[in-house]
Amino acid sequence: MSPVDTSACVHCGLCLPTCPTYLVTGDESESPRGRVVLLNQLWDAIANGQGLDRDAARAVDSCLDCRACEEVCPGHVPVGHAVEAFRAWAVSSGRRPRPLAARGLARYFGSERGLERFQRLVRWANRPAGRTVIRWSRHFGGTAGAAARLAQGLPAPIGAGLAHTKVHTGGQGPRVALLDGCVMDTVYGDTARHTADLLRLTGHEVVSAPGQVCCGALHTHAGDPGQARQWARQNVWAFSQADVQYVAATAAGCGAALKEYSHLLPEDPEAHAFQAAVRDAAELMDPERIPPLPPRPETVAVHDACHLAHAQGIRQEVRALLARAGYRLVDLPEADVCCGSAGIYNLTHPRMAAALQQRKAASVPLGADVVATSNPGCLLQIQAGLRQAGRPTPAAHWVDLVWQAAAQAGALPAPPVPEASGVEIHGLD
């Protein structure tokens, strides 16, 4: 019997057209409805001490945990949590090794020194020697080849340092601390600085929350809830010390994970209180608090990160902020279909991830000057996909676009904008 209740499934099939893996394969076993049936069979086999059907286990494991199905499901069947529970059982029972990528990430993301080491690795990947190694290794199979292909989406140059050491604090209004994150902090550190500037512009006091660590989302998705729980406890403690009204996330996956800490730590009342304070940055920023900015020449297509759109129900907030900043918006077909990033899915399931990446890159309208999104994994995946497709279109975090418009119009409040932010949004002035 599944530890996550999926009995509300009435097999209506409403979820099928929303499921990225079903869209790619057309195979019922790779659909949410199919996975619910397979999960029941697998848990029955486990309860009866029988061997597991490997094809069924593989079809369940190919779920992206994107939650698109849950958004349309009339019975609110928690397919994502059901798949996570099966992965956790597979890892803890020794049926499946803990993914190499998850082990590597735990090494880097669990401490400040680890994050600094990770950032040095990312910087090296962006130097000529690193670029040469990446060019050679992108043809490899498995995790190494997938990581090399993904590295093609790295921004150049990488920000000046870990963001949490440089974020401008201060301002007036509700007190907010940013979740620094792991990939966000090391690869897109300037986005955190820009978020702090925009939060102050929209009437918030920004403070830091020392002692925080990675949100644990990647580990939850990869079947390692033990590590995720340990980091969740640490974050609940760190943000309680900062005495804030809100915890702001700029990475959709992190925000969704923080908003589910009560699921990880059901007995901990502080985890419930913490979760209630979490907001995506787009939820906190009222577009009306941004002074009118002149129209921009760029047209922006918005990709809805799964854990923003499906897990948090946030879509229009991002578009409203971009429009307020003066950008023209153009529709992106299948805007909320997963790009294949999905945490470390693009490292553990490179073939399906590549199919979704190509589908996403091909869907970007020719008239779009930039693709905006709100998750570091999506940024890397989409940017790499566009480069592989020979498209010059850049992918950028929406925060960086809004910040750039405000900075160029001189609308940002003191302290002054750093001269060399390190961020370059290719193709934009």
What is the closest distance, in whole angstroms, from the C-beta atom of residue 5 to ligand SF4 in the complex?
12
The residue (of 58 and 426) whose beta carbon lies closer to ligand SF4 is 58
Give the span between the Cα atoms of 384 and 404, in whole angstroms: 23
**In terms of CB distance, is 43 or 109 closer to ligand SF4?**
43
By CB under 6 A, which span of 4-12, 229-237, 290-298, 403-411 interacts with ligand SF4? 4-12
Task: Kindly state whether residue 163 participates in binding ligand SF4, applying the rule CB under 6 A.
Answer: no
Asked if 257 touches ligand SF4 (CB under 6 A), the answer is: no
Contact between residue 191 and residue 250 where contact means Cβ atoms under 8 Å apart: yes
- Residues 6+ positions from 212 with CB-CB distance below 8 Å: 164, 179, 180, 234, 235, 238, 239
Nearer to ligand SF4, 78 or 255 (CB): 78
Nearer to ligand SF4, 355 or 417 (CB): 355
Q: Which of 4, 14, 37, 389 binds ligand SF4 (CB under 6 A)?
A: 14
Residue 12 engages ligand SF4 in binding (rule: CB under 6 A): yes
- CA–CA separation, 247 and 236 (whole Å): 10
Considering only residues 24, 32, 215, 406, which one is a binding residue for ligand SF4 as defined by CB under 6 A?
Answer: 32
Residues in CB range of 50: below 8 A, 6 or more apart = none
Nearer to ligand SF4, 69 or 198 (CB): 69
Contact residue for ligand SF4 among 2, 33, 200, 253 (CB under 6 A): 33
Work out whether 13 is an interface residue with ligand SF4 (CB under 6 A).
Answer: yes
Pick the closer one to ligand SF4 by CB: 258 or 353.
353
Element (H or E) spanning 330, and its range?
Answer: strand 328-330
* Residues 209, 187: Cα–Cα separation, whole Å: 20
Smallest distance, Å, CB 308 to ligand SF4? 14
Q: Which backbone phi and psi does 329 adopt, to 5 degrees? A: -105, 140
In the complex with ligand SF4, the residue whose CB is nearer, 32 or 377, is: 32
Q: Does 23 bind ligand SF4 (CB under 6 A)?
A: no
Least distance (Å) from ligand SF4 to the CB of residue 11? 5
Binning the chain into helix, strand and coil, the percentages to the nearest 5 are 50, 5, 40
- 10 lies in the binding site for ligand SF4 (CB under 6 A): yes
Instruction: Round to whole Å and give the CA distance between 258 and 251.
Output: 11
Rg of the chain over all Cα atoms, to the nearest angstrom = 21
Q: Which residue has the tokens 């990033």?
A: 341
CB of 39 to ligand SF4, least distance (A): 10
Q: Under the phi-then-psi rule, with left for phi > 0, alpha for psi from -120 to 50, and beta for the rest, what region is 329?
A: beta
How many binding residues for ligand SF4 (CB under 6 A)?
A: 28
Q: Residue 301: which H helix or E strand, with range? A: strand 299-302
Is 144 a residue that touches ligand SF4 (CB under 6 A)? no
- Tell me the C-alpha distance between 100 and 348, whole Å: 9
Binding mask 78-117 for ligand SF4 (x = CB under 6 A): -xx-------------------------------------
Measured CA to CA, the distance from residue 262 to residue 248 in angstroms comes to 17
- List the interface residues with ligand SF4, window 52-71 (CB under 6 A): 63-69
Residue 220 found at the interface with ligand SF4 (CB under 6 A): no
Q: Output 11 or 113, the one with its CB closest to ligand SF4.
A: 11
For the record, the structure tokens of 72 come out as 């349309």
Closest to ligand SF4 by CB, 221 or 319 = 221
Name the DSSP letter for residue 142: H
Q: What is the DSSP string of 218-243?
A: HHHHTT-HHHHHHHHHHHHHHHHHHT
Min dist. Cβ of residue 70 to ligand SF4 (A): 7
Paired tokens of 278 = 């979490």
Name the minimum Å distance from CB 2 to ligand SF4.
13
Instruction: Determine, following the binding rule CB under 6 A, whether residue 75 of this chain makes contact with ligand SF4.
Output: yes
Cis status, amide bond into 210, omega within 30 of 0: no
Binding residues for ligand SF4, per CB under 6 A?
A: 9-15, 18-21, 32-33, 35-36, 63-69, 73-75, 77, 79-80
